[in-house]
Amino acid sequence: MKKCAIALFIVLIAVGCKKPFIPQEIKSDVNRFLVIEGVINSGNDSTFIKISRTQKIDTVHNITPETNATVSVESDANSNFKLAETTAGTYAAPPINLDGTHKYRLRILTSDHKEYVSDFVTVKNAPPIDSVGFVAQPAGVQIYVNTHDATNATRYYHWDYFETWQFHSKYVSTYRSNKVDSLKPRKISEQVYDCFGNDVSSNVTIVSTTKLVQDNVYQAPITLVPSTSEKIETKYSILVKQYALTSDAYTFWENLKNNTEKLGSIFDVLPSGNMSNFHCITNPTELVVGYLSVGSYTSKRIFITASQLLNSYSPVYPYDCQIDTAFMNPPHSGTLSISDLIPANTPYTVISGLYIPPANPFGLPTAYSYSTILCVDCTVRGTKTQPAFWK
């Protein structure tokens, strides 16, 4: 998730009528602002905090992980919990089970000896999700969530989601290269037609019920899966996670949403300033991007099959795919030899063997059909391993 980093760029770029103005500090490598993402989980789940730094806005990779930092959770009762770096820039702790009567903050000491700390934050635990549902509309599948808090204490909601879907390659490959000198029929275990793909939310999804008498959320839109998406061609699943926010945290996410999703014309909301509750102790004037929340989330998963959707839906394969033929003995000018398909670094994958007269006296295919690997091998974009939750 790169929402915070995206917001930083939009906040600092003044949008003009003719061309954007990019401040010198964004062009420079000197100011590499710290981006902090994640929630301190107060319940029986692990805590994950992602820390990275922005780069020059004109570079290809604008975000780089902040490694080798010392990260800890502190309470206003002087307790302390350490987080360990599990992957580059991601710091984790096992379930902490925090005392909801206290406040907590995050402290970070980076490898360049700069110290960052958040404000102390109140624990806000999310109420259960009542249901996650969908409506099959002509444009696609609209996913929504229903929830409520009978105590009227939540009022501010934030959702993330994780998508998983079953998909297949455009063509079935029945042969494979041994990457040395020949082609072999694929075993069942070597099939690369059916796979599973996944994605995570990148948009800001929040709702406030402060203007309602009851703390009820009805069919809050989570995401729209287009009617042409291969995600819904066979079977699709979405896991929705629900978080409760403080009013200040809601203001941060609302500001982020405005800055990233509602700009585009002179009539849109103007970019607003950074609302982070993080501060750099070493350099108080340094900008820090992110907002810390503390609490446990609730979640719910649903499955959707193609039979539940509209017959008018027509999923489109995401790549342009063509089939060509290679002959064992190339008598035809401009036709690839089978030897062109064997090297390990080839961009092509064999689909099947063809018996074109005159037939091979040894019973082997006379020619082979092939296409690009993106059209034949689903493992380029997904995994053959079925998720444990799949049903």
Cα–Cα distance for residue pair 177/301, rounded to 1 Å: 40
Average pLDDT (4-32) is 44
Pairing of strands 115-118, 183-185: unpaired
Between CA 124 and CA 42 the distance in angstroms is: 9
CA 143 to the chain's CA centroid = 17
Q: Which of 63, 70, 50, 64 is nearest to 110 (CA)?
A: 70
pLDDT given at position 387: 97
For residue 169, the model assigns a pLDDT of 95
Contact 194, 378 (CB under 8 A): yes
Could you give the angle at which helices 3-12 and 247-261 cross, rounded to 10 degrees? 70
Structure tokens at 254: 């609302």
8 A C-beta contact, residue 369 and residue 322: no
DSSP symbols for 15-47? P-SSS-B--HHHHSSS---EEEEEEE--SSS-E
* Mean pLDDT on 166-189: 83
Query: What is the reported pLDDT for 164?
Result: 98
Quote the Cα angle for 192-198-199, to 5°.
Answer: 145
Above 60 in pLDDT, residue 338? no
Q: Given pLDDT bands bounded at 50, 70 and 90, which one contains residue 367? A: confident
List, edge to edge, every strand of the sheet that includes 216-226: 129-137, 140-148, 216-226
Res. 339: pLDDT tops 70: no
Task: With beta carbons less than 8 A apart as the criterion, state whether 226 and 313 touch.
Answer: no
* Statement: residue 341 has pLDDT above 90: no
Which range has the top average pLDDT, 28-37, 191-200, 274-283? Answer: 191-200
Coil/strand/helix, residue 91: strand
Q: What percent of the chain has pLDDT over 70?
A: 77
Name which of 26-30, 35-39, 228-232, 255-259 the model is least confident about. Answer: 26-30
Q: Can you give the pLDDT at residue 32?
A: 80
Which are the contacts of 52, defined by CB distance < 8 A and separation ≥ 6?
5, 34, 35, 37, 63, 64, 65, 66, 89
Average pLDDT over residues 313-320: 95
Q: How many CB atoms lie within 10 A of CB 78?
A: 7
Strands 293-294 and 156-168, bridge-based pairing: unpaired
Round to whole Å and give the CA distance between 2 and 10. 13
Share of the chain above pLDDT 90, in %: 65
What span, in angstroms and rounded, lies between the C-alpha atoms of 72 and 284? 20
What value does the mean pLDDT take over residues 158-174?
96
Residue 326 scores a pLDDT above 80 = no
Give the model confidence (pLDDT) of 123-153 as tens digits: 999 999 999 999 999 999 999 999 999 999 9
Residue 23 has pLDDT above 50, yes or no: no
The CA distance from 384 to 378, in Å, is 8
DSSP secondary-structure letter at 255?
Answer: H
Q: How buried is 314 (Cβ within 10 angstroms: 0-12 exposed, 13-18 middle, 19+ buried)? A: exposed
- pLDDT given for residue 370 in this prediction: 86
What is residue 31's predicted lDDT score, i.e. its pLDDT? 59
Rounded mean pLDDT, 350-357: 69
User: Cα separation of 129 and 120, whole Å?
Assistant: 27
pLDDT recorded at residue 345: 59
Q: Name residue, tokens 């295919």.
A: 365
As a whole number, mean pLDDT of residues 73-85 equals 97
Domain residues of the chain, as ranges? 3-123+245-295, 324-380
Tokens 């493992």: give the residue: 379
Query: What confidence category does residue 28 fall into, taking pLDDT thresholds of 50, 70 and 90?
Result: very low
pLDDT tens digits for range 189-221:
999 999 999 999 989 999 999 999 999 999 999
What local confidence, expressed as pLDDT, does residue 63 receive?
76
Q: What is the pLDDT of residue 8?
A: 40
Lowest mean pLDDT among 60-64, 164-168, 253-257, 312-316: 60-64
Please report, in angstroms and rounded to a whole number, the separation of the first and last CA atoms in the chain. 27
Residue where the block lists tokens 């037609």: 193
What mean pLDDT, rounded, does the chain reach?
85
Predicted structure pTM score: 0.83
Residue, of 267 and 7, whose pLDDT is higher: 267
The helix (run of H) or strand (run of E) holding residue 107 is: strand 103-109
